[in-house]
């Protein structure tokens, strides 16, 4: 076998189950690649090499003894550095938490470890998942592995970059306004924001109580599904957690698309604010492929994209200020300049404006369900075009420009996944989103995985 870091989770799991690969060898391959490559993109804040090697050896002993915990057993993954990890620093990419070492794991980390996953380390992020990666923060900015002069998208920036650069097989991110899907799109990985409440957020630094969602990024849709199989489930310690029926997401990736109905939200990305011509062409071709696979794809009109964007920004900004208010007042100098200003903005929102946004959110949820009537999935663009370059000073209120293409599904709480659909003439990835009804991740995975199998984009990797 040549380069073990090119394996996907599903394939590596099958090899280990047959005794043709060890977790120790797989883990060592990733640790060596991190040492050789990560200095160019700075995706890791902390590499837990000794802990990873110990976990890999334990996984091998268990599998040799006949214990197979599932498809994540012995799989090397990494964590966005807002996930608390027992005995390992959890920094939030901030001076305020640079030396914080939790005593226990976040619930999602515990579930990954119980499934036999090997934790390689902690990944860079935007400060507290809200700011930007600026020079006044304690760690270097994460770079896009397709072109290191460009950003990887945020706030799960290290997660997207590390998966794309073959520095882990899967990574945990969080998505409040698109922070899994943005780096997934810009780095050409797969990634899913699950239904709000499906995955525990206990032990993850909060940003917005009513929007925060935890989820995985990986190289393929099927690999994301295998990770979600481990992560999904009720947690009594998360007030937003929901009891939902157990679903085999990995198996769903092999379902037929015959009879599946997809609503194409073309008006979101082809109006006054339009994606690049290459992005439009890529999505049109992806819609054709899905139709050839048996799905029905039809243009449907949804509420204006700006309605979702404005509603989401008001709620997130108000709740983020409430969470960080004391530190913003008492130690503002410890925040990066973009983070501080974004948190401070919430002080200018009134209770009336916040409550109005919550009521408007309810209306948008109802209107979206009505527009989806008779359809299983929504399809739309994932990003407007190429990622931004690194420039100083970075825009503080970036969300005052174009509306967020990911925000609709944060407002509605629906599951939404990113799927790569090619590359532009500039070398950057093209991507679309697939969103399902609440708790129907299975249909999202079925369509995304079928598209990936029918196209060749998963064979393209960045060269570092």
Which residues participate in catalysis according to the annotation?
Answer: 80, 155, 179
Compute the distance between CA of residue 357 and CA of residue 176 in angstroms, rounded to an integer: 16
Give the DSSP letter of residue 139.
S
Locate all alpha helices (DSSP H) within 293-374, ordered by sequence. 305-330, 337-345, 351-371
The two tokens of residue 39 are 């200095």
| Residue found under tokens 């794309």 | 164
Compute the distance between CA of residue 86 and CA of residue 130 in angstroms, rounded to an integer: 24
Compute the distance between CA of residue 80 and CA of residue 173 in angstroms, rounded to an integer: 5
- Strands 296-299 and 261-264 turn out to be parallel
User: SS3 for 81-97, per residue?
Assistant: CCECECCECCCCCCHHH
Helix axes 221-231, 107-114, angle to 10 degrees: 100
Torsion angles phi and psi, residue 12, rounded to 5 = -65, -40
Contacts of 30 (CB under 8 A, 6+ apart): 4, 5, 76, 120, 166, 167, 168, 169
Compute the distance between CA of residue 165 and CA of residue 37 in angstroms, rounded to an integer: 8
Name the 3-class secondary structure at 268: helix
Helices (H) and strands (E) in the chain, counts: 14, 11
Compute the distance between CA of residue 458 and CA of residue 447 in angstroms, rounded to an integer: 15
Is the Cβ–Cβ distance between 77 and 117 less than 8 Å?
yes
Compute the distance between CA of residue 429 and CA of residue 423 in angstroms, rounded to an integer: 4
């Amino acid at each position: 076998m040549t380069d073990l870091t090119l394996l996907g989770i599903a394939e590596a799991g099958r090899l280990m189950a047959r005794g043709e690969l060890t977790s120790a060898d797989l883990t060592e391959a990733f640790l060596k690649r991190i040492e050789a490559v990560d200095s160019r993109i700075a995706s890791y804040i902390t590499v837990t090499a000794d802990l990873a090697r110990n976990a890999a050896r334990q996984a091998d002993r268990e599998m040799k003894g006949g214990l197979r915990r599932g498809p994540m057993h012995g799989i090397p993954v990494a964590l966005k550095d807002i996930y608390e990890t027992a005995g390992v620093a959890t920094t939030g990419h901030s001076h305020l938490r640079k030396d914080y070492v939790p005593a226990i794991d976040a619930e999602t980390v515990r579930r990954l470890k119980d499934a036999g996953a090997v934790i390689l380390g902690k990944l860079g992020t935007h400060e507290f998942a809200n700011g930007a990666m600026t020079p006044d923060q304690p760690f270097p900015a994460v770079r896009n592995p397709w072109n290191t002069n460009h950003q990887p998208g945020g706030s799960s920036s290290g997660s997207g970059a590390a998966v794309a650069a073959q520095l882990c097989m899967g990574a945990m991110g969080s998505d409040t306004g698109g922070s899994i899907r943005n780096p997934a799109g810009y780095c050409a990985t797969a990634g899913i924001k699950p239904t709000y409440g499906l995955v525990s957020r206990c032990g993850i630094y909060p940003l917005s109580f009513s929007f925060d969602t935890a989820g995985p990024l990986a190289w393929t849709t099927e690999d994301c599904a295998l990770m979600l199989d481990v992560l999904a489930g009720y947690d009594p310690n998360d007030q937003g957690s929901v009891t939902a029926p157990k679903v085999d997401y990995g198996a769903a990736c092999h379902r037929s698309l015959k009879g599946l109905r997809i609503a194409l939200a073309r008006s979101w990305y082809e109006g006054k604010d339009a994606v690049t011509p290459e992005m439009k062409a890529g999505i049109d071709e992806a819609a054709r492929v899905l139709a050839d696979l048996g799905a029905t794809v039809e243009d449907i009109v949804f509420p204006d994209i700006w309605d979702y964007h404005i509603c989401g920004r008001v709620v997130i900004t108000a709740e983020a200020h409430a969470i960080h208010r004391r530190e913003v007042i008492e130690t503002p100098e410890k925040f990066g300049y973009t983070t501080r200003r974004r948190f401070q903005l919430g002080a200018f929102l009134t209770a009336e404006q916040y409550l109005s946004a919550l009521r408007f959110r309810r209306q948008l949820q109802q209107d979206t369900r009505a527009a989806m009537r008779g359809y299983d999935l929504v399809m739309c663009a994932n990003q407007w075009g190429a990622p931004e370059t690194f420039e100083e000073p970075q825009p503080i209120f970036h969300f005052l420009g174009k509306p967020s293409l990911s925000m609709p599904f944060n407002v509605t709480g629906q599951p939404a996944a990113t799927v790569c659909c090619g590359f532009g003439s500039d070398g950057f990835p093209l991507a679309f989103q697939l969103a399902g009804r609440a708790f129907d991740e299975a249909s999202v995975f079925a369509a995304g995985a079928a598209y990936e199998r029918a196209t060749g984009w998963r064979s393209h990797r960045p060269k570092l």
